[in-house]
Amino acid sequence: MSTVARWLLILCWICGKANANYETACGSVEESEYLALQRNVDVLARQLMTLRDNSGAWKNTPEALTSLILAKPDVLSDVDASVAVLENEATQKPSLGKFAQILLAAKASCSNTTNFGGVNLAKELKRRLNDELMLNGINREPPQGWYGVYLAVGAYCISEKQSPGESIVARVLEKQGLRGSFHESMSADYTAQAMIALTCVMRVSDSSDPALGTIQRSLHLASNSLLTGISVEKDNVWIGNRYSTPQALIALTENEKLDNQKRLCMKILESINNRPAGREPEAALSQVLPVLKGASVLQLMNDERDCPSRDESQEIESIDENIDDPIPNARVVDIQIDLEFIINPNAYLGGDLASENVTRFDVTRVPKGTILHDTMVLASQRELMTFETKDTAWGRSLVEINGRRANSSMKQFWSIGANGKSIPVGIDQFIPSHGEKISFTLTTWS
Ligand code: B12
């Protein structure tokens, strides 16, 4: 081979490499960046699989199943067992949001959604959505909250490739605040979920539809609200906070809002990819996986996509990587924390209004890194408090303190604060420090 030909060959090889298509949520990237994301998809998908029980159920089965089908279907075995769990859940009167997630998971697994364990999922979802927003023909605030409404509008639209109806979409649009957010507290979680729903409605709308312009303007305003919620925390870049970032990034990239800011987009994606120490709850894994893979629930609108294999003989390789972060050194420390119990007037049901009750609680010699839940167990052993929890995909949720049960049908919940600030994670992840005042407030959400 002549020298010229050899050079041409080398050049072609370099060109080929440079043009190789390594697609991510932020567009095409270098091979090394792409591989770093894919390695984590692999580890996290296997970690999520280990959280499935023998019956095929997760704590939140539809969310986990959809996530794995979108991100890493090859680690999934026995899809039918999980689908059977969903069929059963669909008949058990789940919340509106959960019902929406079931429809998406049924769609993702290519099941028959019109006869899913005897239920026509989309038809039933639309009926429930109407009931949630209207009582006796009069508009009302959704008793289960707006997050479930956004999930339901999105799931119906993605599955049926049509809008759930003008009046329902109008109610969602009305909920948007002046600054573009879909929740009073500027929550990126709510805004991202509403954007995913409206993005679908926009895509299925006819170009002559007069509502189309309104939806596009709403999406633009909502994107700005997410972009102004960007913060930098120890080299990480979040939209809202660490846990709202995956959905928010999907909402922005699906609307091409980060196309001219690829570096920023990659910084956010890398932040999601850098798992901090400690095991993440199931729901965090489910929400992170698709975005690392560059996938989103909106892809379920495409009927040409692949269905997950239903081959029962599929074997999953065992995990060779040690996915558990090392347990913190069992160094023991003395900590002292104050426990405060508050019942907000809006959640007051009569009886004694024990508005403030601070108990100094000395926990001596607990292992460093003791989570709030275990600290509360110690406090209850010393008869300083009693409490009850419910298992969820985010870990244990606190439902009752000192005999006071949060009544979810009255929108009550126990909110948890540390030194006056709402804690960013639940009692299974939060680690109190010495001198901290932990407050438990029975209050209501909107
Ligand atoms: C809506 C919502 C709430 C509502 C739920 C009631 C309602 N119907 O509106 C309320 C206001 C009660 C709530 C409370 C809290 N929340 Co919240 N919540 C959400 C949100 C926006 C959507 C959850 C949802 O409806 N999913 C869809 C349904 C169908 O799935 P589900 O499994 O049935 O959902 C249930 C659980 O998620 C549970 N839940 C909600 N939040 C939390 C938080 C924890 C720690 C646990 C264990 C369970 C739990 O309530 C949901 C409805 O029943 C998520 C955002 C997200 N990205 O998921 C944050 C989110 C899950 N919440 C969060 C937090 C931190 C809290 C609080 C700990 C805040 C605080 N300091 O008090 C408390 C929980 C305190 C407790 N008692 O244990 C974080 C969790 C992060 C983490 N790693 O744990 C998230 C991810 C928000 C965020 N981006 O930071 N939340």
Q: Provide DSSP, 78-122.
A: -HHHHHHHHHHHHTS---HHHHHHHHHHHHHTT--TTSBTTB-HH
**Which residue, by CA, sits nearest to atom 54 of ligand 1?**
189
Predicted confidence at residue 346, as pLDDT, reads 64
Q: Where would I find the H helices in 205-325?
A: 211-228, 245-254, 262-273, 282-293
Evaluate: CB of 394 within 6 angstroms of ligand 1: yes
Q: What percent of the chain has pLDDT over 70?
A: 85
Tell me if 147 CB under 6 Å of ligand 1: yes
In Å, what is the CA distance from 364 to each residue of 207, 341, 378? Answer: 67, 22, 10
Going by C-beta distance under 8 Å and a sequence separation of 6 or more, which residues neighbour residue 357? 340, 341, 342
| Distance from the alpha carbon of residue 410 to the mean position of ligand 1, in angstroms | 16
* Predicted pLDDT of residue 187: 95
Q: What is the pLDDT of residues 245-299, one digit of tens each?
A: 999 999 999 999 999 999 999 999 999 998 754 579 999 999 999 999 999 999 9
95 lines ligand 1 (CB under 6 A): yes
The answer on pLDDT for 222 being more than 90 is: yes
Model confidence band, residue 6 (pLDDT cutoffs 50, 70, 90): low
Atom 85 in ligand 1: residue holding the nearest Cα: 243
In this structure, of 61-65, 173-177, 182-186, 309-313, the range with the lowest mean pLDDT score is: 309-313
Query: And the tokens for 423?
Result: 């804690």
Provide the pLDDT for residue 303: 87
Q: Band the pLDDT of 359: cuts 50, 70, 90.
A: low
**What is the per-residue pLDDT for 350?**
52
Are the C-beta atoms of 190 and 182 separated by less than 8 Å?
yes
Nearest CA to ligand 1 atom 83: 425
Q: What pLDDT does residue 369 have? A: 82
Q: For the segment 199-220, what is each residue's pLDDT rounded down to a tens digit? A: 999 999 999 998 999 999 999 9
The arithmetic mean of pLDDT across residues 87-97, rounded, is 96
User: What is the structure's pLDDT at 19?
Assistant: 46
Instruction: Output the average pLDDT for the chain.
Output: 88
What pLDDT score was predicted for residue 3? 60
Q: How confident is the model at residue 50 (pLDDT cuts 50, 70, 90)?
A: very high
Q: Decide: helix, strand or coil at residue 61.
A: helix
Out of 37-41, 78-82, 354-358, least confident range: 354-358
In which band, very low, low, confident or very high, does the pLDDT at 437 lie, cut at 50, 70 and 90?
Answer: confident
Q: What per-residue confidence (pLDDT) applies to 289?
A: 95
Q: What are the residue ranges spanned by the domains of the chain? A: 30-301, 336-444
CA-closest residue to ligand 1 atom 11: 445
Probe target for ligand 1 pocket from 190, 245, 289, 397, with the most ligand atoms within 8 Å of CB: 397
What does the CA dihedral 165, 169, 170, 171 come to, rounded to 10 degrees?
110
Residue 66 CB less than 6 A away from ligand 1: no
Q: Is 430 in the pocket of ligand 1 (CB under 6 A)?
A: no
Rounded to the nearest 5 percent, the helix, strand and coil shares of the chain are 45, 15, 40
Closest listed residue to residue 328, CA positions, set 371, 285, 296: 371
Helix (H) or strand (E) holding 231: strand 230-233
Cβ–ligand 1 contact at 146 (below 6 Å): no
User: Distance, CA 398 to ligand 1 centroid (Å)?
Assistant: 11
pLDDT confidence of residue 358:
61
Quick one: pLDDT at residue 309? 87
User: Which atom of ligand 1 is the closest one to the Cα of 445?
Assistant: 11
Ligand 1 pocket, residue 241 CB under 6 Å? yes
**Ligand 1 contact via 392 beta carbon (within 6 Å):** yes
Looking at per-residue confidence, does 43 or 324 come out higher?
A: 43
Q: Is the CB of 88 under 6 A from ligand 1?
A: no
C-alpha to C-alpha distance for 413 and 395, rounded to whole angstroms: 16
Encoded tokens for 60: 């939140």
pLDDT recorded at residue 121: 98
Say yes or no to pLDDT of 349 above 50.
yes
**CATH class of the domain whose range is 336-444:** mainly beta
Question: Hey, what CATH class is 30-301 in?
Answer: mainly alpha
What is the pTM assigned to this prediction? 0.92
CB 371 within 8 A of CB 427: yes
